[in-house]
Amino acid sequence: MTKISLIKRALVEEAAEGSALASRILERIKGVPVFRVTARDREQEPVLQDMGKETLRLVSFPGRFLKPCPGTRGYICCGYQILNVGTNCPLDCSYCILQAYFNQPSLRVFVNLDHEIAPVLNQIDQNPDRVFRIGTGEFTDSLALDPIVGWSGMLTGPFSTRRNAVLEFKTKTDRVEGLLASKGRDRIIVSWSLNSPFIASREEHGAPSIRKRLEAAKRCQAEGFALGFHFDPLIEHPGWREEYQKTLELLDRYIDPGGIIWMSLGCFRFMPALKSIIRRRHPGSLVLDGEFVPALDGKMRYHKPIRIDMYGFMSEKLCQWHEDLGLYLCMEAGEVWQGGLGWTPETTEGLSRYLDQRVIRFFGPL
Amino acid sequence: MKEESLIWVDLAHVDEGPGPDCMSFGFDLDPLILSIRRCGLINNPLVARNEQGRVDVIAGYRRILALKTLGWGRVQCRDLSALLPSPLERLLFNLHDNLPTRTFNDVEKGMILGRLASLVPREALLNEHMPLLGLPSHEPLLRVYLQVEGMEEPVKRALAEGRIPMRTVRALLDLDLDSVKTLGRWLTDIIFNFNQQSQFIEYVRDISVRENREISELMSDEGLAGILRDPKVKGPHKAKHVLERLRQRRYPRLCRSQEAFQEKVKRLNLPEGVMVRFDPYFEDPHYHLDISFREGKALREKIVRLSQLEGLGKLGDPWPEDS
């Protein structure tokens, strides 16, 4: 994966100058050339044909930091909230949706987070009867840049003291030092995106192996963190059952299932525009090989019986391992839940309730 | 002041191709030949000497071709060598001579941009010349146009005549040359509509990647090549047969589900005027029943017959048994 030393330059936008977080980051990447970017520079920037993963861009984000996950129409979603700390990611997974956002290249870190976290916490405090399941890993990897940004150090404290919120760090990396050094444990969930070892090595460019991810997870579990796992995207590939079984065996070897708050499954789906980008950026990729059909939300998804088959296989194996893993499907149809998992929460509200209950069971009442 | 002069040009010494300054492709020469035969040559072609001392046509390339066809041995031309000393000036002269009087086809636009690319900065191509040609100032589109001239002749002809749109060409361009040639032949040999062209290219690319086979090898499979050769299948039917064959190969399980569901419906023996509709991709979990009738009495009869149909209670998703 991209090491800090592979960040070749840093850009500091005008509005980000003087921010305490920006100063701390620049201190941590001393030696990397730093350039100031004015609004005029931004207008004149050429549209890059790649994602600028070697450029760190410090930005003052003008929008809302906490937003509900947009979910998708026509399918059951989980009612998650996204804490928007940055965009793009130093990893280069062939299937990543972020590839479609070429108009926002480079690794963007929102350095006004340390100021803007206050209204977020205030919103949580104003709604004491509501469970906020919050994560930072939707538009970036939660931990890939943690050694230079220090998100874990900034966020674990405030979240671990709030009864009605959990914060999930979702990652494919093994960069857990910041988390382990932080003080907060309660209501902090560290979760890993997992796949078959075959897909991990072939399609998740720059990401550590599944074994390394699980070794990091084991360290976090030993240090008292609740764990989550996300088999998302599940990708149909030759021998996929045997390949996913290998990951399940590794899970059994490294992880105590009793400490897992939830596990999600999600078959690969994508906006049609991503297909040509994947073909161009990752010509050897097999992620597009499956039988994808246009779904109700405009995305391409595996033909339904394939999804049911994959979920059915994973669910059966996972339930054999441990019967109470908080298993759920990400953005799926009720009949696919029924066919694959044998039950359905019926609606987004139903799934939200199920996951909120998991939070309460794990961390205690509100 | 530099001036133009009249010179006699031996037509045998003028290239058949449009040269560096002209941008004509896919035109019909017959009306011009007829015109010259009846009225003679009204306007002399414009030429200039290049660095090798040979004559390049600056304007009047079609006239030169027509004269050659008519058997003229030489023609008097206006020599602009002194007036237009640089290649850029000559090219722009031709461009602005043509712009007000005719519309360029996509191959010609590609030729113009291709010639300009070596003479002006990229920004000028994008910001000045693309809008001049009625194109959006868009880098990826420019890259497509710059590759057009290098494509095979039949594909260029089809593009110039509007039988193949630019989006089809764009879908071909990141393939290797051999694949482009193969697909180009299919696209010009079979009458696909524009949507079918895109579908065809997508199916073939997907299958080629999934089966790890070269496109040329894939398209020579007997099942496909046989359709191309079959004299009994004509015109648009040929396109449908090819696409259906590729679809079956690209989406075997989806096709099986569709066939299985249709078979289930067929076995129900629905009354006349009754039809089951379904999402061909099965993402919509609901199936729909259409009943056409003229009067309530007929509707009642159909509903009664429907309620008595054996097997109706088992109609539903066609898997897992057929997936």
**Whether residue B95 has pLDDT greater than 50:** yes
**Whether residue B321 has pLDDT greater than 80:** no
> Which residues from chain B sit within 8 angstroms of residue A49, using beta carbons?
139
List, in order, residues 6 or more apart from A22 with CB less than 8 Å away: A12, A16, A58, A111
Cβ-based burial of B61 (10 A; exposed 0-12, middle 13-18, buried ≥19): buried
Average pLDDT, chain B: 92
| Mean pLDDT (whole number) for A7-21 | 93
| Mean pLDDT (whole number) for B11-35 | 89
| Mean pLDDT (whole number) for A38-46 | 68
pLDDT attached to residue A43: 62
State how far the alpha carbon of B83 is from the alpha carbons of B1, B86, B269, in Å. 9, 9, 83
> Which residues from chain B sit within 8 angstroms of residue A47, using beta carbons?
139
Closest A-chain CA to B212: A284
> Which residues from chain B sit within 8 angstroms of residue A309, using beta carbons?
320, 323
| Mean pLDDT (whole number) for B62-78 | 95
Q: Could you read off the pLDDT of A127-167 as tens digits, one per residue?
A: 999 999 999 988 999 999 999 999 999 999 999 999 999 99
Closest A-chain CA to B320: A305
CB contact under 8 A, B319 and A308: yes
Q: Could you read off the pLDDT of B114-131 as tens digits, one per residue?
A: 999 999 999 999 999 999
Q: For tokens 């003008």, what's the residue?
A: A62
User: Do residues A272 and A206 make contact, with C-beta atoms less than 8 angstroms apart?
Assistant: no
Q: Which of B118, B130, B124, B132 is nearest to B88 (CA)?
A: B118
pLDDT attached to residue A2: 44
Residues B314, B316, B319, B323, CA torsion sign: positive
Higher pLDDT pick, B212 / A38? B212
List, in order, residues 6 or more apart from A204 with CB less than 8 Å away: A91, A93, A94, A172, A195
| Mean pLDDT (whole number) for B3-23 | 87
Q: Which of B198, B201, B254, B317 to mutate to test the interface with A (most CBs of A within 10 A)?
A: B254
Helix, strand, coil % in chain A, rounded to nearest 5: 40, 20, 40
Q: Which of B300, B273, B275, B298 is nearest to B287 (CA)?
A: B275
Instruction: Residue A109: count other Cβ atoms within 10 Å of its Cβ.
Output: 25
CB contact under 8 A, B281 and A295: yes
Radius of gyration of chain A (CA): 20
> Which residues from chain A sit within 8 angstroms of residue B210, using beta carbons?
286, 289
Higher pLDDT pick, B234 / B245? B245
User: Hey, is the C-beta of B211 within 8 angstroms of any chain A C-beta?
Assistant: no
CB contact under 8 A, B253 and A279: no
CA of B171 vs chain A CAs: smallest distance (Å): 9
pLDDT attached to residue B181: 87
Pairing type for strands A66-68 and A81-83 reads antiparallel
Q: Whole-angstrom Cα distance, residue A229 to residue A325?
A: 10
Q: Where are the beta strands (DSSP E) in chain A?
A: 9-13, 34-37, 55-59, 66-68, 81-83, 86-87, 92-93, 107-110, 132-135, 165-171, 188-193, 204-205, 226-234, 260-267, 269-270, 292-294, 300-302, 327-329
Residue B221 tokens read as 């499979």
Preceding omega of A233 cis (within 30 degrees of 0): yes
User: Predicted ipTM?
Assistant: 0.90
Higher pLDDT pick, B265 / B171? B265
**Whether residue A232 has pLDDT greater than 60:** yes
> Which residues from chain B sit within 8 angstroms of residue A306, using beta carbons?
253, 323
**Whether residue B63 has pLDDT greater than 90:** yes
**Whether residue B1 has pLDDT greater than 70:** no
DSSP state of A167: E
Residue B243 tokens read as 């696409």
Quickly state the pLDDT bin for B176 (edges 50, 70, 90): confident
pLDDT attached to residue B173: 80
**Whether residue A1 has pLDDT greater than 70:** no
**Whether residue A95 has pLDDT greater than 80:** yes
Average pLDDT, chain A: 93
Whole-prediction pTM: 0.87
Q: Whole-angstrom Cα distance, residue B228 to residue A227?
A: 58
List, in order, residues 6 or more apart from A53 with CB less than 8 Å away: A2, A88, A89, A90, A92, A106, A107
pLDDT attached to residue A3: 52
CA of B308 vs chain A CAs: smallest distance (Å): 28
Q: Whole-angstrom Cα distance, residue A163 to residue A127?
A: 11
What amino acid occupies position B289?
L
| Mean pLDDT (whole number) for B124-139 | 94
**Whether residue B169 has pLDDT greater than 60:** yes
CB contact under 8 A, B285 and A279: no
CB contact under 8 A, B139 and A47: yes
| Mean pLDDT (whole number) for B216-226 | 93
Quickly state the pLDDT bin for A173 (edges 50, 70, 90): very high
**Whether residue B52 has pLDDT greater than 90:** no
pLDDT attached to residue B323: 47
Quickly state the pLDDT bin for A49 (edges 50, 70, 90): low
> Which residues from chain B sit within 8 angstroms of residue A293, using beta carbons?
251, 254, 281-283
Q: Tell me which residues of chain B, numbers 262 to 281, contact chain A at a CB-CB cutoff of 8 Å.
A: 281
Q: Which of A109, A97, A110 is nearest to A70 (CA)?
A: A97
**Whether residue A50 has pLDDT greater than 70:** no
